[in-house]
Chains A and B, each alone.
Chain A
Amino acid sequence: MIKLSNVTKVFNRSKANEVKAITDLNLTIADQDYLVVVGSNGSGKSTLLNLIAGSILPGNGEIYIDNNRVTRLPDYQRSRWIARVFQNPLSGTAPDLSILDNFRLAALRKKPKSLIIGTNALFKEQVKEKIALLNMGLEHKLEQPMGTLSGGQRQALTLLMSIMDDCKILLLDEPTAALDPRSAGLVMQTADDLIKQFELTAILITHNLKDAHTHGNRLIQMVEGGIAQDFSAESKLNLTQNDLFSWFS
């Protein structure tokens, strides 16, 4: 369970370029919920996600994950619960490292990175099996640098990397924004499958209203740093895509 209570985040406080990104926000996300967040640019969606991930820390308010107070915990310590997929396919993987090395690090998300060589034959087999599930033929290219793959392939692999180690929460920050429609569909499908199979709690930020409509079991609309509308599972089913479009016009 993720809980934000009275969270406020202001950038450049009391300067000319002050931005109130999140104002007094309360949000509780139940276990295994799949929350979709929509809102126009600058409405605070990414800030919300970064606050949960710990990349930025709130000015006021408290954040809890599984009843642990994590308000002041930096991102690299929240990684024991949270895996992330970024908007930019380059951010979620290390381009100069091989696919295998990337997966090795992902497999150690919750564990210390020690002075042993962990990329052994056994580990290679495990990674091969996992990657084969994607049906992209990447299981034979484990030694290839991540940077030589396409954006879609990298996003799909980043998703897969999130479940290499025990994971509870998956944060998806516009994961398909940089992808062509076919790759985007594949990435969203993979995300759905993983969330269901591993019983993850997930948050998806998207500008694609079709995705917002079809995925997830809860939908919120953010406006100016607050939650304007909140639809639970049943009421979300009654929404049409046109309803969503009308919020942005």
Chain B
Amino acid sequence: MDFYLTALLQGLCFSGIALGIYISMKIFNIPDITTDGSYALGGMVTGVMLTHTYPLYISMIAVLIAGGMAGAITGLIHTKLKINALLAGILVMTALYSINLTVAGRSNLPLIGTELVFTFFHITDDVNLNSFWILAVIVAALISLIGYLLKTDFGIAMRATGNSETMIRALGVNTDHMKIIGLALANSLTALSGFLITQLQGYADINMGIGIVIIGLGSVIIGETLIGWFKSTSVWGSLLLVLAGGVVFQLVLAVTLAVGVDANLLKLVTALLVLIIVSLPRLNFIKRYD
């Protein structure tokens, strides 16, 4: 049981990535893969700040700003230099690898005896269960904030930017600014995942971001399927289902490991899993034409 609880904890920690990808891919319609870099950046900044005994909230703010800046740079390259979003993301992601090494000074930062978000308050003696409640609070706060943002006038303009650019420009919105803000927000959330995971696993590592974007994609795609099933049209509902997608994704991975798949094959399994999820709606075993 503890095994699945750990998977659940991971899923909740990844909610930042899931929401980040949801914002960049679904709301802004931009395929952003700065994610790998900004996630590791979040982890590295966390490691440096906490080992230098900065308080948690200051570390978290630093992580959010760092991730936001990474996203804003991708946004600037994409909008001002008119470079394809995928390439812009790859450029920033690649550059971030060196930045991350420079920030940390080395490739691995263990958190030993530092303050952790998971010891922020104490409900039960079960460490994992306690972590769960703390994560639940953080995730609830995150969903409320993003949900509120998307319902405001600014949020409607964000949603329209990815939906009908000609229309929203004619209605007085600078779409370049919107995209930069959107990518900054998305990568800020991604870096927050790095912040949480680093503390969950107890160390930050330069390679922690490799292939992490697929976790966000998988979560969003499962989330989309769930949104389709539940016919959710509300903003809050959709965000919740994307998070649920992230948790389902981690649980499925946990099951594959539990049935004895070699841990070295984890990334292969992850990629196959996403492939299956993406292609399921396209594989019509029973032809229907209605």
Contact = CB atoms under 8 A, between A and B. Distances in A.
Tell me whether A and B are bound partners. Answer: yes
Interface of A: 53, 55, 74-77, 79-80, 82-84, 86, 90-97, 101-102, 104-106, 108-111, 113-119, 143, 145
27 contacts: A55-B169, A75-B169, A76-B169, A76-B175, A79-B169, A84-B170, A92-B167, A92-B170, A94-B159, A94-B160, A94-B167, A94-B168, A96-B163, A97-B159, A101-B156, A101-B159, A104-B153, A105-B171, A106-B171, A108-B157, A113-B152, A113-B156, A113-B157, A114-B154, A115-B149, A116-B153, A143-B233
Interface string B137-155: 0000000000011011110
B164 interface: yes
A83 B163 contact: no
A44 to B, nearest CB: 20
Contacts, number: 95
B113 interface: no
A117 B152 contact: yes
Contacts of B172: 76-77, 79-80, 108-111
A145 B157 CA distance: 15
Contacts of A80: 172
B164 A93 contact: yes
B173 interface: yes
Q: Which of B148, B154, B174 has the most CB of A within 10 A?
A: B154
Contact of A76 (B152, B153, B174): B174
Contacts of B151: 117, 119
A23 B168 CA distance: 30
B107 interface: no
- What's the dominant secondary structure at chain A's contact region? loop
A104 B175 CA distance: 17
A76 B173 contact: yes
A110 B170 CA distance: 10
B157 A115 contact: no
A93 B168 CA distance: 8
B53 interface: no
Nearest to B151: A117
A109 B148 CA distance: 22
A109 B159 contact: no
Contacts of B175: 76
Contacts of A92: 164, 166-167, 170
A91 B164 CA distance: 6
Contacts of B159: 94, 96-97, 101
A29 to B, nearest CB: 19
A108 B153 contact: yes
Given A113-B157, A115-B149, A90 B173 contact: no
Contacts of A115: 149, 152-154
A220 B166 CA distance: 26
Contacts of A90: 164
